[in-house]
Structure 1
Amino acid sequence: MNQPVKHIVFDIGKVLIHYDPHLGFADIIPDDEERRWFLENICTHDWNLEQDRGRTWEEAEALLIGMHPERADHIRAFRKNWHRMVPHAYEASVAILERLVADGHDVTMLTNFASDTLREAQLRFPFLTISRGVTVSGDIGLLKPDIAIYEHHAKAFDLEPAATLFIDDSAANVEGARAAGWQAVQFTSAEQLKADLRQAGIEI
């Protein structure tokens, strides 16, 4: 039997706001196959993840431009057009977040995000500032699903791990939270999240 939930921790990308790197290149590389190749072979997920770990965009761009000088403009376009990659919030998820905060639940956020783009997102989406606080991977040099980032977050916000419920779209990140002693659910939809919260004894 799980302990009663005292703390709720939200991931951000693909839980509260949409993210799709293809959207940043739709007009720059209009051919679907070429754009897919570029994002799978040059500005890759693993390359971008290092910015979430704290590498600067200048360092990241210089690395790739050194390897692919003919693609310099496209490489620089990743950061330049980042705002296009996060076009909207998931309103139903945001409503759950806002209700939890309004009802007095202890809500924080834990995200793999570059420091600068997270602050940009907070300006565009003010609901990202209504929780008690956020741990940003790019600020501390740790990434989910490393157990250390969950331990850091719990210590920073004085959370009781076994009484903490984590919400993330990534199965690997959910398992990382469980390995750190947290309760965790994988986000697939707002309706499923409501059901998961209800299962944890929290009515929305």
Structure 2
Amino acid sequence: MINTIIFDLGAVLIDWNPHYLYRNLFADEQEMTDFLGNITTSDWNEEQDAGRSLQEGTDLLVAQHPQHEANIRAFYGRWDEMLGDAIEGTVEIFKQLKDSGKYKIYALTNWSAETFPVALERYDFLNWFDGIVVSGMEKMRKPTPAFYKILLNRYHISPKKALFMDDNLRNVLAAEKLGIKSIHFTSPEKLKRELEILGINRPQ
């Protein structure tokens, strides 16, 4: 019997995309794609999610690629411009789960401790959670098993009674290895169907 739901945030409940910023900075789409794929990479960004300061991460990258300094500094200097809207279909599912009163609902997110307060101010639904564990505050991130265990231990969650959802398959597989039933999120519509199959959030 599942009594706990664990959401990822980015690309599940919140539309975060560096393209929203960098399309304003690059005239050429391919140049933008090359910059994001080869300079401000996901691996680099995840180090800030794991606790490295934005200043340190930025300075390190500028030293490696001084010709791209202005665009590198924009990554965190104008970070809020990468935030899009809430993903309304998933927020509606979240609200239905919350209103049912059947589940404790948590968030487990890879997110910099320095930028997360911006999201807290922008998205009211972040206040609906029974608890949020932020990688940048814990100095570790998904898919590290110890990061999941922080959430489980802090809120006394039984892995066998929890359901986790994340858009990154790597993170889903890591949760499953800990005995947490998981859903690889691809869209609100597909999530709704999968929850109904599990007997969760089934229409009355």
TM-score using structure 1 length: 0.95
Computed over aligned residues only, the root mean square deviation of the Cα atoms, in angstroms, reads: 1.1
Pairing 1:186-201 to 2, within 5 Å after superposition: 186-201=184-199
Offset at 1:174? 0.7
Letter in 2 for 1:102: D
For structure 1, the 5+ residue unaligned runs are: none
Pairing 1:67-78 to 2, within 5 Å after superposition: 67-78=64-75
Alignment correspondent of 2:30: 33
Pairing 1:101–2:98 present = yes
Pairing 1:6–2:3 present = yes
For 1:202 and 1:113, how far apart are their aligned partners in 2?
A: 28
Letter in 2 for 1:74: N
Alignment correspondent of 1:140: 138
Alignment correspondent of 2:40: 43
Identity across the alignment (%): 37
- Aligned residue for 2:47, secondary structure, equals helix
- Aligned residue for 1:166, secondary structure, equals strand
Letter in 1 for 2:84: P
For structure 2, the 5+ residue unaligned runs are: none
TM-score using structure 2 length: 0.95
For 2:159 and 2:34, how far apart are their aligned partners in 1?
A: 41
- Aligned residue for 2:120, secondary structure, equals helix
Contact 2:108 2:151 in 1 (8 A): yes
Offset at 1:199? 2.2
- My pick for the range that moved more, 37-46 or 50-59, is 37-46
Offset at 1:26? 0.9
Contact 1:5 1:200 in 2 (8 A): no
Offset at 1:200? 2.2
Pairing 1:92–2:63 present = no
Total equivalences in the alignment? 201
For 2:73 and 2:13, how far apart are their aligned partners in 1?
A: 26
After superposing on structure 2, the runs of 4+ consecutive aligned residues of structure 1 that deviate more than 4 Å are none
Offset at 1:111? 0.5
Pairing 1:183–2:181 present = yes
- Aligned residue for 1:175, secondary structure, equals helix
For 2:197 and 2:24, how far apart are their aligned partners in 1?
A: 44
Pairing 1:130–2:162 present = no
Pairing 1:16–2:17 present = no
